[in-house]
Amino acid sequence: MKIHEYQAVELFRHAGLPVCDGQVAQDANQALKIAESIGFPVVLKAQVLVGGRGKAGGVKLVHSASELPQVFNQIKNLTIKGYAVERILVAKVVNIKKEYYAAVTIDNIKGDIVIIASNEGGVDIEETAKQHPEKILKYYLEGAKTIDPARWGEFIRSLFPDQKYHQEATAIFEKLLKFFISFDCSLAEINPLVIDDNGKLIAADAKVLFDDNALYRHEQLQSMRDFKYDDQDEVDAKTMGLSFVKLEGNVGCIVNGAGLAMGTMDAIKLLGGQPANFLDVGGSSNPEKVLNALKLILKNKGIKVILINIFGGITRCDDIANGILTAKKQIELPVPLVVRLTGTNEDLAKEILSKAGVTTYKSMREAVTKAVSLAK
């Protein structure tokens, strides 16, 4: 789950991180009141859950009350990467001397938490990471949950050649790391972390991603969700009892069980194809679930084939077969189906399907190979 900057700033403040004073506004009058209470100049920042607001004109400094309404409305009328600006953060301006990048995230390949930093932070960080990867510093936790002073020295010295920042910066990284762990984040990022004209370190932006699977442990976060940014198909899938994640490929998948669904996606990739989605129809699959799953997958116009891979345990293969028949009657299937069924009531299922002219496969490899070749 993503949250807005103004929400992340509040959480960072509670975590003891140095953030700027500010509040979110929905209209220019409200913004003016906030700005007057903070004192000019202020910075207005579009609250959209996509990156690159600065470059899109969504971050602007305002020096006086007279110019505020116009700048506010200018930002309010922006559409940033397809999203309308509904709220704008009005924050105290920092006089930036230098911008750094600071983040904690998970390196999925290493299976470790990593602190990432750069002394070339700001809106061009992606470019820097591409052109000058050596300017991106990484400190791996190596399984620990706190910073190891023995290894930390080198990291902080390369980030801040000037020793006077070491203590303050280290405290910020420690707090960011503690925040990351205690809220089950997948990312806690400050870009830019700045040195202001008083030589103080301040978080001038805040970005946080939470692991959805751990949200049940954090009641205070659940109400922060901005549903406008959720994928509507994924939301619909949930209400129909399906676990669904959209991907980039063209082989639609309907599978029972999360493990088999993962295995199926792996097999598709191994045999040269690209899965279009993860979809687990769950344990006890009634025919209606299969129909819903097919409808959902077919919303994706890039699909070339649908692979149905069922290992019948609690799931009865004949239920799946009846679901396929119902779907064939009710909706138009513009792409071929490749069906592999094995387990409970397999023979019955095959009989139902062969009468309807649907070929079935017994082995997963055969079915996946067929699906991948049809997708090419």
**Looking at the annotation, which residues are catalytic?**
101, 189
Measure CA 80 to chain center.
17
The answer to whether 123 contacts ligand GDP (rule: CB under 6 A) is: yes
Contact 141, 229 (CB under 8 A): no
Binder of ligand GDP out of 76, 189, 190, 192 (CB under 6 A)? 192
Nearer to ligand GDP, 23 or 286 (CB): 23
Q: How many CB atoms sit inside 10 A of residue 341's CB?
A: 28
CB of 183 to ligand GDP, least distance (A): 20
Give the DSSP letter string of 261-291: HHHHHHHHHHTT--BSEEEE--SS--HHHHH
Tell me which of ligand GDP, Mn ion, none is bound by residue 204, counting a contact when its beta carbon lies within the kind-specific cut-off of 5 to 8 angstroms.
ligand GDP
**Running DSSP on this structure, what letter comes out for residue 104?**
E
Binder of ligand GDP out of 3, 62, 94, 116 (CB under 6 A)? 94
The answer to whether 250 contacts Mn ion (rule: CB under 5 A) is: no
The answer to whether 96 contacts ligand GDP (rule: CB under 6 A) is: yes
The dihedrals phi and psi of 176, each to the nearest 5 degrees, come to -65, -40
Measure CA 52 to chain center.
15
The answer, yes or no, to whether the previous bond of 41 is cis (omega within 30 of 0) is yes
Binding mask 50-89 for ligand GDP (x = CB under 6 A): -xxxx----x------------------------------
The answer to whether 191 contacts Mn ion (rule: CB under 5 A) is: yes
The answer, yes or no, to whether the previous bond of 192 is cis (omega within 30 of 0) is yes
CB of 202 to ligand GDP, least distance (A): 8
**CA neighbor of 290 nearest in space, from 273, 271, 306:** 306
The answer to whether 205 contacts Mn ion (rule: CB under 5 A) is: yes
Residue type (1 letter), 234 = E
CB of 166 to ligand GDP, least distance (A): 23
Instruction: Kindly list the residues in this chain that would bind ligand GDP in the complex (CB under 6 A).
Output: 43, 45, 51-54, 59, 93-94, 96, 99, 122-123, 191-192, 204-205
